[in-house]
């Protein structure tokens, strides 16, 4: 059963990932990204990470991809890109070689770790609490660690989010007058009919 889940979710993840980089239209790439994120959420569920799977769907597939689509629609950058030509000679072979190197290193590490019985790769548990033993659900175990051992980091993330909000407002606000900018503040619906 787990094999079936893994294979189906894995195929969704990988085909979505290939779709992201292979579609020439950014809208299609964003939709393929939804597939990948959803497949990763399924794999989270298969590995006892129920809370993270829910957050993955809500935050990633919900908020972040919608944000991507908003930007694509808002800026009108949804024209297809010509992927046939390689503007920089040798870039694609170089990228494929680099990718092959990365995956080769990863797989060699995995094989070496397997000979060692998983010792190199796994290291030791941090002892923060068991994932499956004891009482409570996945959510309560995660919350307990988050609000005790990682409380300071958790509070700092709220500062980070506020900084991100301020940064987004500063970056996306209407630029000061005098700069050569395409007017963007008013949407067509806001303009008076006789303007």
Interacting positions 69-98 with another protein (CB under 8 A): 71-72, 74-77, 79, 81, 87-88, 91-92, 94-96, 98
157 binds another protein (CB under 8 A): yes
Q: Which of 73, 120, 131, 186 binds another protein (CB under 8 A)?
A: 131
118 binds another protein (CB under 8 A): yes
Q: Which of 8, 73, 120, 145 binds another protein (CB under 8 A)?
A: 145
d(CA 25, CA 27): 5
187 binds another protein (CB under 8 A): no
In SS3 terms, the chain reads as: CHHHHHHHHHHHHHHHHHHHHHCCCHHHHHHHHHHHHHHHHHHHHHCCCHHHHHHHHHHHHHHHHHHHHHHHHHHCCCCCCCCCCCCCCCHHHHHHHHHHHHHHHHHHHHHHHHHCCCHHHHCCCCCCCCCCCCCCCHHHHHHHHHCCCCHHHHHHHHHHHHHHHHHHHHHHCCCCCCCCCCCCCCCHHHCCCCC
Site for another protein in 28-47 (CB under 8 A): 29-30, 33, 36-37, 40, 43-44, 46-47
20 binds another protein (CB under 8 A): yes
18 binds another protein (CB under 8 A): yes
Residue 14 or 186 with smaller CB distance to another protein: 14
Q: Quote the least distance from Cβ 177 to another protein, whole Å.
A: 14
Question: By CB under 8 A, how many residues form the interface with another protein?
Answer: 96
Residue 122 or 186 with smaller CB distance to another protein: 122
């Amino acid at each position: 059963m787990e094999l079936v889940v893994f294979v189906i979710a894995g195929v969704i993840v990988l085909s979505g990932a290939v779709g992201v980089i292979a579609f020439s239209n950014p809208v299609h790439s964003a939709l393929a990204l939804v597939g990948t994120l959803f497949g990763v959420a399924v794999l989270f569920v298969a590995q006892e990470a129920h809370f993270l799977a829910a957050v993955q769907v809500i935050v990633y597939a919900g908020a972040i991809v919608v944000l991507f689509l908003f930007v694509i629609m808002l800026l009108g950058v949804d024209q297809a890109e010509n992927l046939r030509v390689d503007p920089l000679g040798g870039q694609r072979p170089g990228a494929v070689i680099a990718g092959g190197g990365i995956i080769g290193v990863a797989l060699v590490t995995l094989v070496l770790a397997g000979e060692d019985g998983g010792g190199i790769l796994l290291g030791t548990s941090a002892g923060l609490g068991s994932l499956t033993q004891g009482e409570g659900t996945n959510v309560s175990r995660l919350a307990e660690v988050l609000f005790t051992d990682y409380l300071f980091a958790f509070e700092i993330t709220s500062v980070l989010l506020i900084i991100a909000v301020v940064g987004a407002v500063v970056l996306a606000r209407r630029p000061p007058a005098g700069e050569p900018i395409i007017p963007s503040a008013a949407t067509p619906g806001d303009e008076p009919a006789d303007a």
